[in-house]
Structure 1
Amino acid sequence: MTKRLSDFDIGLLLTLDALLKHQNVTHAAARLNITQSALSARLTRLRQLLNDPLFTTAASGRGMIPTPHALALEPELTRLLERLSDFVNTAHLFDPATSKRVYRIAATDNPAAILAPDLIPRFKSQAPNAKVAFTVPDKPRIVEHLEQGDIDLFIGAAEDGSSGLIGQKLFEEEFVTAQRHGHPRGKGSITLDEFCALDHLLISTSGGHFAGMIDDALAEISRSRNVTVSIQSYALAPLVLENSDLICTLPRRFLRRFAQVLDLFEAPLQRPRPHMAAQTGDTERSQRSRGVVAEHHAIVPATTCRAIRASEAGSRQPCRQPDRTACRAANSVRRHRRPRSPRPSAST
């Protein structure tokens, strides 16, 4: 009996509850804030543990029909989740004003440059005794580092994370082209021919590359540009642009902070808008964490169980301070996924 009970976790119970309420994989996955593939994996696990199909596809092809066994479980499942919710609500509440923890955020250069100026003042106002550390993410090991408590939050392109993580979309990237004030080409809108003829600055996050996403978009319309300078840091880009006749195409959220020295123009080509996401581990350590969450370009206090946990000071051991409560116990399922293979670093 003990072994069978240990095979269950809260995430499986929440999955069964969501499927019973919505009888639709898409809607249930949206309610749990997970992908449909992750929900299907949980359903497969439930079927194995309960030795019952639980749901069958509706004759119309839309939605799912619960089996008699699934319907018989529903009343007790509801009572169980209510009791669990009552238990979680009695847990010690985290108070950021008294926290002395160190929060550790792994963020790629672009979102770090966009979010840090807004995050740090808000963070200090809400948690004056706490510390925050931005680190460079080791993308192939993001899941491992989150599960082990080495980092608390990963912020970057959504595809660099994992479907097994709890994630929240922060913002879409809109790319614009920048040049220095007083650029010889003038202040008019930039044409595609001008864009291709001018010298460009490129940010290569992996270092040393002279082609990136913009070049891919140009190649699709049989055009190319002249990239003459490649740098690895977003922070260096405004300085280079201010002191040269180069142009550069980067996210608007980043460039607009330098409007006092740069002119911004709509880029003369269409390209998809990638979005940045915040992702945290779906593990027991993460369940006990509280802190702040990122939302769009501002940072707001955590009022739900989607909190983050962090520390980057000295020791690599997970934080064990008493403010790491079980606030997210009712929202999660333990998942231990192997990290994905490395992806090429993005360039723009």
Structure 2
Amino acid sequence: MDNLRRLDLNLLVTLDVLLSEHNVTRAARKLNFSQPSVSVHLAKLRDIFGDPLLLPGPRGMKPTARAEALREPLRQALEALGRAVSPSHPFEPSKADQTWRIAATDYGESTILLPALAGLRAAAPGTRLAVVEMIPARIAKQAELGEIDLAFHTSEGSPSGMRRRTLFAERYVLAGRAGHPRLGRRPTLKQFCALEHVLISPDGGGFHGVTDTALARVGLARRVTLSVPHFLFMVSVLHSTDLVAMLPARLVRGNPALKAVEPPVEVPGYEMAMLWNERSHRDPAHQWLREQIQKSVLEDGVRSTISTRTRL
């Protein structure tokens, strides 16, 4: 209690920013304080906590163990205090001017963002949307620091500690160009392995994927002749060559230039999820954005089902 009596809100806010920036100059700029003022705050905090909190390091300042332990409780306490002293207003999309930042791969852009874009623009024309490269190892930290609002990632392998909502389940189909001479019907396993395949390798240069793992279980291997990092380029390759690929079904549907058949080997699919940090979970604008994306995904799935039944 003695330490609590010696603290004031400005010191706690300064500490929160210092733990985020790891740099006195950047923290001062973010707080709109002078650098000496931030240094004075840091000296007081060190005295109150009996710990140096931040030590000089090769890339700015490095938090001590005590500082790391303070980081999340302090962030949650300040956010709770902010909610307590701020009046709650309903989000009005037609008057909003937010800039949302979303981390996604080209697959997430095509299957989640593209179907949602028209609805977002119509409902909230004053907002902006920035799509940034999705780097799985960084999304938890980016969301914690407020650098991104949402990320789209497979449920398996999603960072722990993030809020998550499953958007849809995806499966794989064997795809090639329309009129491909070997895709008139479902190929046998032997025919499948003899085809020349292109494979997605997000990290670059890999020639082994989930399909190869499934084939290895039955003592078989396919011919992977091309490895690419992006789905968009893969689709272009399929359009213009006789290469084939195991593609997520959502990337094939509605594309008259591609032909898809069921593969002769069972390859496990995956779930796509929307991820966000606890810090924005209760924000009305953020809640609205998440609901709009969820709604768009559901509507897109219904349209796809109706279209498939019509063709059948």
Same-fold call, TM cutoff 0.5: yes
How many angstroms apart in 2 are the aligned matches of 1:299 and 1:124?
18
How many angstroms apart in 2 are the aligned matches of 1:207 and 1:97?
42
TM-score (norm 2): 0.64
Matched positions, count: 219
**Paired residues for 1:267-346 under 5 Å:** 267-283=263-279, 285-288=280-283, 290-291=285-286, 292-293=289-290, 294-295=293-294, 298=297
SS of the residue 2:231 aligns to: coil
The counterpart of 1:263, out of the listed 259, 262, 284, is 259
Structure 1 alignment gaps of length 5 or more: 5-86, 301-348
Indicate if the aligned counterparts of 1:113 and 1:235 stay in contact, CA closer than 8 A.
no
How many angstroms apart in 2 are the aligned matches of 1:299 and 1:95?
23
The counterpart of 1:177, out of the listed 171, 174, 178, is 174
Which residue in 1 is equivalent to 2:193? 196
Q: Which has the higher helix share?
A: 2
**Paired residues for 1:71-86 under 5 Å:** none
Indicate if the aligned counterparts of 2:167 and 2:297 stay in contact, CA closer than 8 A.
no
**Paired residues for 1:10-159 under 5 Å:** 91-159=88-156
Q: CA RMSD in A?
A: 2.8
User: Which protein shows a greater Rg?
Assistant: 2
TM-score (norm 1): 0.58
Which residue in 2 is equivalent to 1:47? none
Quote how far apart the aligned CAs of 1:114 are: 1.2
Which residue in 2 is equivalent to 1:164? 161
Quote how far apart the aligned CAs of 1:262 are: 0.9
Structure 2 alignment gaps of length 5 or more: 5-83, 300-312
Which residue in 1 is equivalent to 2:76? none
Quote how far apart the aligned CAs of 1:181 are: 1.5
SS of the residue 2:138 aligns to: helix
Quote how far apart the aligned CAs of 1:89 are: 12
Indicate if the aligned counterparts of 1:180 and 1:244 stay in contact, CA closer than 8 A.
yes
Tell me the amino acid that sits aligned with residue 267 of structure 2. R
How many angstroms apart in 1 are the aligned matches of 2:245 and 2:85?
50
Percent of residue pairs identical = 32
Query: CA 1:107–1:3 in 2, change beyond 3 Å: closer, same or farther?
Result: farther
SS of the residue 1:200 aligns to: strand
**Paired residues for 1:248-259 under 5 Å:** 248-258=245-255
Which structure ranks higher in relative contact order (CA pairs < 8 Å, sequence separation ≥ 6)?
1
Quote how far apart the aligned CAs of 1:289 are: 5.3
Indicate if the aligned counterparts of 1:180 and 1:263 stay in contact, CA closer than 8 A.
yes
Tell me the amino acid that sits aligned with residue 102 of structure 1. T
